[in-house]
Amino acid sequence: MKKLILAILILSQFTLINAQKDNSKPNNSPTSTSPANPVPNNSNPNITNTIAPPPYLKQKKDEITVEGILQLQIMDKPLGIMFDELKVRYFKTEKRAYRARGIVSMSNNNITINGTNGKNASVIEAIQNLNLGLGFEDHFKGKNNISPYWGVEVLVGFSVVKLDGTNTEEGKTFKENYKLTSENTEVSFYLGGIAGLDYYLSSSFYIGTEIRYGYQSTNLGNVSRTVTDPQGNSLNSGTSLGSNTKLEMNYTPGVRFGFKF
C-alpha cells in the first residue's frame, strides 16, 4: 500500500513538471494572434513622410482667359492708372493657346520751346493709337500654379498724331506770333517672339508679366500742315515723312491681371 501511494505521488510530480515546461515554450502556432494595439515600426526605410502638392490652378483645355494691365504712368500727371490693353486667349489644349490682343491709347504731351524776350513757344502733341494682334502661345509644365510660356505674335498698328502750336512755324523752334496745326497717320507692322509667365492666385484669377522682341516697320505717312503768320495769312502744305524699320524689345510696365473662365 505504501508503494502504491509513493508511485502516485511521483507520477503526479512528473506530470506537473512537464506541464510547466510546455507553458514556458514560445507559441509559434500559425493561429497565434497579434496584440490588439501594435506599436508602429518607424524604422522601416520604405515609409516616408510626404507633403501634398498645392492644388492645380492653371489653365485647362477649352478654357478662356481675359487679361488687362494695371499700369502706373507718370507723364503730364503726377500719377495715373491706365487700362489700355486687353488680351483674350483660348486654350486649345492645356499647353497650346491662341491669342488676340488689342491696344487703345490716347495721350497729350505739352512741349515748351525756349524763345526770346521772355516768350516761349508751346506745342500740344495729341496721339491716338490702335493696335490689333494675333498669335499663339506654348506653355511649359511649370508648377501647379505657375505657367511659363513662349509664342509668336503678328500686330498691326495705327496712330494719329496731331500738333497744335503757338509761336512756332514747324513745331521745333521759336517764331513769334506764328501758329501751327498739323496731322499725320502712321501705320506699323510688327512680327516677333513673346515670352511670359502667369502666376495663379486661385483657380480663376492670376497675375503675370510678358516681354516681346521682334521686327517692326512703320510708315510715317504724309503730314498735312497749316501755318498762320502774324498777319493772319495761312499756308497749307503736305510732306511725306517716310518710313523706318527696327528690331526692338517691347515691355509694357505694369501688372498684368487676368480672369479664367
pLDDT in tens, 241-253: 899 999 989 887 7
- Give CA separation, 176 vs 74, 117, 227, in Å: 31, 10, 12
Q: Using one digit for the tens of pLDDT, what is the confidence trace for 99-136? A: 999 998 888 888 888 888 788 999 999 999 999 999 99
CA end-to-end span of the chain = 106
Longest dimension (CA), the chain: 166
C-alpha cell at 32: 497565434
- Worst-scoring range by mean pLDDT, 8-17, 58-67, 188-197? 8-17
- Give CA separation, 228 vs 14, 39, 77, 109, 123, in Å: 140, 100, 31, 22, 14
Instruction: Look at residue 20 and tell me whether its pLDDT is greater than 90.
Output: no
Look at residue 52 and give its three-state secondary structure: coil
pLDDT of 105 reads 84
Instruction: Look at residue 238 and tell me whether its pLDDT is greater than 90.
Output: no
pLDDT of 41 reads 53
Spatial distance between the Cα atoms of 112 and 166, rounded to a whole number of angstroms = 10
Q: Which fold has domain 64-260?
A: Porin (2.40.160)
The b-or-e profile of 154-191 (16+ CB within 10 A means b, else e) is ebebebebebebbbbbebeebbeebbbbbbbebebebe
Spatial distance between the Cα atoms of 189 and 177, rounded to a whole number of angstroms = 39
Q: Using one digit for the tens of pLDDT, what is the confidence trace for 66-82? A: 998 877 655 544 444 55
From the CA atom positions of the chain, what is the Rg in Å?
42
Q: Where are the domains of the chain?
A: 64-260
Is the backbone of residue 221 left (phi > 0), alpha (psi -120 to 50) or beta?
left
Task: Report which of 166, 140, 167, 141 is spatially closest to residue 151, judged by C-alpha positions.
Answer: 140
Task: Report pTM.
Answer: 0.68
CB atoms within 10 A of CB 192: 19
